[in-house]
């Protein structure tokens, strides 16, 4: 079946603008995760959804970042007043139920460049 998909694959924006990044998880997966990968680094956790609710948003760096998953499937990561330091690859992952023994399946990521 289809894997995790993310759109757009690349996004270039100007400092101060608002951006939305979309994630389509694997069908039937209730758990969804967002990570951010800066150049030369490993991915870092941002937020975890179980169904429609954000079960853990401790990784969001500040209140300019917000994510939603209104119907428990597609998720949107929203960044307000973008800064150059927000430039990174934003990765989405999903797993079947969020259990401790499960694999998280990662999407291809969205490469965000803030000029």
Partner 1 sequence: KQEVTQIPAALSVPEGENLVLNCSFTDSAIYNLQWFRQDPGKGLTSLLLIQSSQREQTSGRLNASLDKSSGRSTLYIAASQPGDSATYLCAVYSGTYKYIFGTGTRLKVLA
Is residue 52 a contact residue for partner 1 (CB under 8 A)? no
Is residue 83 a contact residue for partner 1 (CB under 8 A)? no
Whether residue 32 contacts residue 47, with contact meaning beta carbons closer than 8 Å, is answered with no
Is residue 111 a contact residue for partner 1 (CB under 8 A)? yes
Q: How far is the CB of 1 from partner 1 (least distance, A)?
A: 16
How far apart, in whole angstroms, are the C-alpha atoms of residue 54 and residue 11? 25
Q: Which of 7, 41, 52, 80 touches partner 1 (CB under 8 A)? A: 41
Q: How many residues bind partner 1 (CB under 8 A)?
A: 27
DSSP 19-60: EEEEEEPPTT--EEEEEEE-TTS--EEEEEEETTEEEE-TT-
Which residue matches tokens 């870092």?
A: 44
How far apart, in whole angstroms, are the C-alpha atoms of residue 39 and residue 77? 19
Is residue 2 a contact residue for partner 1 (CB under 8 A)? no
Q: Which residues bind partner 1 (CB under 8 A)?
A: 4, 6, 31, 33, 35, 40-45, 48, 55-56, 59, 91, 98, 100-101, 103-109, 111
């Amino acid at each position: 079946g289809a894997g995790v998909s993310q759109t757009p694959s690349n996004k270039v924006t100007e400092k101060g603008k608002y951006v939305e990044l979309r994630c389509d998880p694997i069908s039937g997966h209730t758990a969804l995760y967002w990570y951010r990968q800066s150049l030369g680094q490993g991915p870092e956790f941002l937020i975890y959804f179980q169904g429609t609710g954000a079960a853990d948003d401790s990784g969001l760096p500040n209140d300019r970042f917000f994510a939603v998953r209104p119907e428990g499937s597609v998720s949107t990561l929203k960044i307000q007043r973008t800064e150059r330091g927000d430039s990174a690859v934003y990765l989405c992952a999903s797993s079947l139920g969020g259990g401790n023994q499960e694999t998280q399946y990662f999407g291809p990521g969205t490469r965000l460049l803030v000029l």
